[in-house]
A and B are shown apart, each in its own frame.
Chain A
Amino acid sequence: MGTGKSVLIVDDSSFIRNSLKTILENAEFNIVGFAKDGLEAVSKYKELKPDIIALDVIMPNMDGIQALRIIKSISDEVKIVMVTSVSAIDKIVESKNAGASNYIVKPFEEEKVISVFSRL
């Protein structure tokens, strides 16, 4: 499934960070780091250069869509999946237009997360 692809998990909730870590590690992804807000996500991206980023939208300091734009301006290679509770279609379109590969709405099913990440 994951075949060792590296993943950075960005969410201000430790509950979600831990849930995603468990799901993705069981699917053979390599979790290389965590960030709690958009600013930290940009910094961790530069440091760790992961293959994939799981990125929340509503976070303190810098939101996920701002972080998405900055990270994609650094490298278009990285795959970014928005993982958020915000289900409004305008946010999904905005994320897609800013370069997100996919969008998962919380609460998520384990199968959905694995399916989306495995296709990247």
Chain B
Amino acid sequence: MKAEYVNAFLEPAVSVIKKVLKVKVTIGEITKAVTVNARDAFSVIIGLSGDLSGVVIIGFSMKTARNIAAKMLCKDKLTDLNIDAKEALSELVNMIVGNATGNLYDLGLKELLTPPTIVLGSKVSYELSSSDQLTIISIKTGLGIVDMNIFFKDERIV
């Protein structure tokens, strides 16, 4: 996967998290993988179709999910992820991926996005039907680690 495509997602991930959560953000490991990191108990999936097709899966541990949702909902603490918390997290991911479409467009790539889908539970396996590699970016925030899994293939390459 081209570095500029990865950057198209990385830049809004950092800027949206900083702007919405008002926390310090640093980029951790960026790794290539063949399967999605399944350690996360709460994930949000957004599909892309267009010049690039695939998915972006952003995952959180349950503790990080509660921390982030609490901040977004202006609560001191959340003991459980209620519907408002899930929708807040889902919207955070939507903002990251939506903002990435602007960067992709600037690279000459037109994309359509699906509405976000929430996946609960860490015992989930994802079958990715392409030889392209998955890129996993670990984003360290003051509220916990956010894993961004980016997987797509370039439909313009025959």
Contacts and interface: CB of A to CB of B under 8 A. Distances in A.
B94 A87 contact: no
Interface in A37-71: 58-60
Interface in B34-85: 72-73, 83-84
Contacts of B87: 13-15
B5 to A, nearest CB: 15
Nearest to B20: A107
A88 B104 contact: yes
A16 B99 contact: no
Contacts of B19: 107
Interface stretch (B105-113, B121-129, B143-151): B105-113
Interface of A: 12-16, 18, 58-60, 84-91, 105-107
Contacts of B103: 87
Nearest to B15: A107
Contact of A60 (B73, B99, B115): B115
The interface size bin for chain B is: 20 to 34
Contacts of A89: 102, 105
Contacts of A107: 16, 19-20, 95
B115 A14 contact: no
Contact of A87 (B20, B90, B102): B102
Contacts, number: 62
Q: Is the interface of B mostly helix, strand, loop or mixed?
A: helix
B95 A15 contact: no
A15 B88 contact: yes
B101 interface: yes
Nearest to A84: B98
A106 B99 CA distance: 8
B98 A58 contact: yes
Contact of B95 (A14, A60, A85, A91): A85
A85 B99 CA distance: 6
Contacts of A91: 101
A32 B84 CA distance: 21
Contacts of B94: 13, 58, 85, 106
Contacts of B105: 88-90
17 contacts: A13-B90, A14-B87, A15-B87, A58-B114, A58-B115, A59-B115, A85-B95, A85-B96, A85-B97, A85-B99, A86-B98, A86-B113, A90-B105, A106-B98, A107-B16, A107-B19, A107-B95
A98 B66 CA distance: 40
Nearest to B93: A85
A60 B116 CA distance: 10
A3 B83 CA distance: 33
Contacts of B101: 86-88, 91
